[in-house]
């Protein structure tokens, strides 16, 4: 037990000396560091262009990232930083291309002005459907007391707009409500038959054309003419251009009044026009063959159409007042589904 205090003293002395050695080492290390406080720790290179941190020195030192976006000054000893621009082109999973949306053609369009009358009135067409088979109804080629054909056209236009299902998807139907708006505006009697040039438009087409004709047995209620030359009138020209160049219709019904029946195009009758007349006659009470009053028919629309490969008929309503709407709605279905 006597040696125990002495041993304790020796142990404390040894411990104190050990801490003293450690403290001396630390002082020496700090002194050495102070000779070059900017030097990085051994084995660690600071990033190029970086700067030592401000404030008191800490271990390990932290380095501020080199500035970027700064060009190396000419003659500079150290680059403040190098920017490596991406040299690749991002590859997208697809090549973006403009997108085109196909706007569907509306079922109905109208009125479409295809020209003007001598009096400057618009010649208006209404289109129904967008199928490849083109059909045309012409009304009011004679104004005046045939105005009920224009009223029928208006009724058909309104009905078709409300019932688009009536037009087959394979068909485009055009309705020209009044080819002679001048005569329609002038009078609802006999003097309204001709246009503002006094020309009967159904005698003006460039087929079997005559300036005048024997009218003893025909329409002789008022002066009229076939025009100055075949196809001389703007109404005739506008219709021919639209039919041949813009719509390429394959069948035409031209409405008149009254009472004589159904007249096929061609003289003698064109085969396709005669079949169309027969199909319409089978679906109606209009006379076919038509009533023959010995009239000379020169320069007519159906004859011109037939000469151009278009099946065509003149169709006369029963009188000058009624539109025969229901009967002609049935004819319309035959016409839209008829095949050449």
The window from 33-41, 174-182, 248-256, 266-274 that contacts Zn ion (CB under 5 A) reads: 248-256
146 vs 303 by CB, closer to Zn ion: 146
> How many alpha carbons fall within 13 Å on the CB side of residue 234?
16
Q: How far is the CB of 155 from Zn ion (least distance, A)?
A: 19
125 vs 138 by CB, closer to Zn ion: 138
141 vs 249 by CB, closer to Zn ion: 141
Q: How far is the CB of 256 from Zn ion (least distance, A)?
A: 3
The window from 128-136, 138-146, 205-213, 304-312 that contacts Zn ion (CB under 5 A) reads: 138-146
Q: How far is the CB of 258 from Zn ion (least distance, A)?
A: 9
The window from 218-226, 251-259, 274-282, 286-294 that contacts Zn ion (CB under 5 A) reads: 251-259
CB atoms within 10 A of CB 327: 17
CA dist 65 and 60 (Å) reads 15
Q: How far is the CB of 139 from Zn ion (least distance, A)?
A: 10
Q: How far is the CB of 130 from Zn ion (least distance, A)?
A: 31
List, in sequence order, every residue forming a beta bridge with 51; answer none if it has no partner: 64
Residue 256, interface with Zn ion (CB under 5 A)? Answer: yes
Among 134, 142, 177, 203, binds Zn ion (CB under 5 A): 142
Quick note: the x/- pattern for Zn ion over 40-69, rule CB under 5 A, is ------------------------------
The secondary structure of 36-74, three-state, reads CCCCCCCCCCCCCCCECCCCCCCCCCCCECCCCCCCCCC
Q: How far is the CB of 180 from Zn ion (least distance, A)?
A: 10
What is the size of the binding site for Zn ion (CB under 5 A)? 3
Instruction: State the residue number with the nearest CB to Zn ion.
Output: 256
Q: How far is the CB of 183 from Zn ion (least distance, A)?
A: 10
The window from 98-106, 146-154, 215-223, 245-253 that contacts Zn ion (CB under 5 A) reads: 146-154
The window from 110-118, 224-232, 242-250, 253-261 that contacts Zn ion (CB under 5 A) reads: 253-261
Q: Which residues bind Zn ion (CB under 5 A)?
A: 142, 146, 256
């Amino acid at each position: 037990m006597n040696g125990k205090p002495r041993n304790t003293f020796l142990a404390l002395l040894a411990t104190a000396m050990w801490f003293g050695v450690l403290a001396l080492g630390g002082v020496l290390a700090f002194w050495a560091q102070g000779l070059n406080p900017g030097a990085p720790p051994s084995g660690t290179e600071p990033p190029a262009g970086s700067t030592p941190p401000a404030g008191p020195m800490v271990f390990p030192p932290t380095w501020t990232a080199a500035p970027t976006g700064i060009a190396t000054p000419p003659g500079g000893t150290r680059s403040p930083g190098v920017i490596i621009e991406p040299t690749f082109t991002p590859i997208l999973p697809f090549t973006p291309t403009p997108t085109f949306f196909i706007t569907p053609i509306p079922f109905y369009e109208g009125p479409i002005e295809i020209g003007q009358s001598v009096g400057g009135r618009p010649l208006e067409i209404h289109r129904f459907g967008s199928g490849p088979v083109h059909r045309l109804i012409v009304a009011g080629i004679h104004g005046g007391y045939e105005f009920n054909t224009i009223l029928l056209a208006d009724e058909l236009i309104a009905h078709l707009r409300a019932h688009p299902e009536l037009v087959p998807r394979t068909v485009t139907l055009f309705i020209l409500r009044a080819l002679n708006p001048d005569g329609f505006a002038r009078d609802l009697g006999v003097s309204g038959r001709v246009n503002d040039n006094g020309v009967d438009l159904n005698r003006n087409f460039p087929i079997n054309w005559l300036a005048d004709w024997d009218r003893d047995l025909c329409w002789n209620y008022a002066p009229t003419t076939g025009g100055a030359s075949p196809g001389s009138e703007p109404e005739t020209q506008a219709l021919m251009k639209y039919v041949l160049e813009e719509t390429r219709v394959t069948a035409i019904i031209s409405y008149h009044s009254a009472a004589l029946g159904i007249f096929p195009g061609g003289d003698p009758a064109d085969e396709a026009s005669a079949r169309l007349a027969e199909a319409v006659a089978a679906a109606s009470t209009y006379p076919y063959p038509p009533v023959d009053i010995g009239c000379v028919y020169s320069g007519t629309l159906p004859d011109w159409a037939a000469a151009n490969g278009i099946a065509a008929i003149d169709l006369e309503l029963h009188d000058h007042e009624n539109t025969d709407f229901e009967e002609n709605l049935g004819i319309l279905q035959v016409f839209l589904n008829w095949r050449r």
